[in-house]
Amino acid sequence: MGKSPVTVRNEKLANTVVAALKKRFFGAHYCETKEEAVELALSLIPEGSVVGWGGSVTVEQTGLKDRIIEKGFKVIDRDRAKSPEERMEMQRQVLLADTFLMGANAISEDGQLFNIDSTGNRVAALAFGPKQVIVMAGINKIVRSVKEAELRAQTIAGPINASRLEPKTPCLITGVCSECQAQSTLCVQFLRTRICKPEGRIQVILIGEELGF
């Protein structure tokens, strides 16, 4: 049986976005399945690397973290922290990791990444610190423009993350963003990554499956 129209379109879309990302000096790749994406990500991590990550449903869903642990890389895993203080210290340490793994809230068709963060550890690592950042993103994260990327990140990913993390925010109750200004807000830092500098530091792996949100 041939590929479905959705798969064919996903491939074309992903190839267009990969080309746009490369023009902006990102490393960029497309894998049809998450299993292929995991193998590719592993091949990008040099032996002996220290690897860390931010909170990412996409990275969880791929199983990449488990494979990294199995392979014996030294990891900085904040979820193993025994206290809030230790967790914060690990979030600081991860900024000096060799490789940092994360998802993306949205990627525009013209190859720009958009991410919103609460504590800021994830966008900090994306902007500076780890020698390499690997971004794993399902095809559902691609949007038409940067404007739509911001809209998606705040008004779709935001309320869904609220349902996951249960902060005291209006979107937890209503399911829609009301631009809250509470201390508990999830939407603190907004980062648009327009260009990858230095070239190739950020490796984006697009995956032909719906992952994360």
Residues near ligand SF4 (CB under 6 A) are 154, 158-159, 162, 169-171, 177-180, 185-187
DSSP 23-53: HTT-EEEEESSHHHHHHHHHHHS-TT-EEEE
Residue 68 CB-half CA count within 13 A:
29
Residue 46 or 175 having the CB closest to ligand SF4: 175
Instruction: Name the burial class of residue 42, with classes exposed (0-12), middle (13-18) and buried (19+) by CB atoms within 10 angstroms of its CB.
Output: middle
What's the rounded Cα separation, in Å, for the pair 199 and 182? 37
Residue 129 or 170 having the CB closest to ligand SF4: 170
Residue 133 CB-half CA count within 13 A:
29
Residue 128 CB, nearest approach to ligand SF4 (Å)? 24
What's the rounded Cα separation, in Å, for the pair 88 and 102? 17
Residue 187 CB, nearest approach to ligand SF4 (Å)? 3
Residue 171 CB, nearest approach to ligand SF4 (Å)? 3
Question: Closest by alpha carbon to 184, among 196, 173, 195, 198?
Answer: 173
In the complex, residue closest to ligand SF4 by CB: 158
Neighbours of 26 (CB within 10 A): 26
Residue 130 or 158 having the CB closest to ligand SF4: 158
Residue 43 or 181 having the CB closest to ligand SF4: 181
What's the rounded Cα separation, in Å, for the pair 146 and 148? 5
Give the pair of three-digit tokens for residue 91: 């979030």
Residue 176 CB, nearest approach to ligand SF4 (Å)? 8
Residue 91 CB, nearest approach to ligand SF4 (Å)? 20
Residue 89 CB-half CA count within 13 A:
7
Residue 104 CB, nearest approach to ligand SF4 (Å)? 17
Residue 19 or 165 having the CB closest to ligand SF4: 165
Asked if residues 114 and 146 have their Cβ atoms less than 8 Å apart, the reply is yes
Residue 134 or 171 having the CB closest to ligand SF4: 171
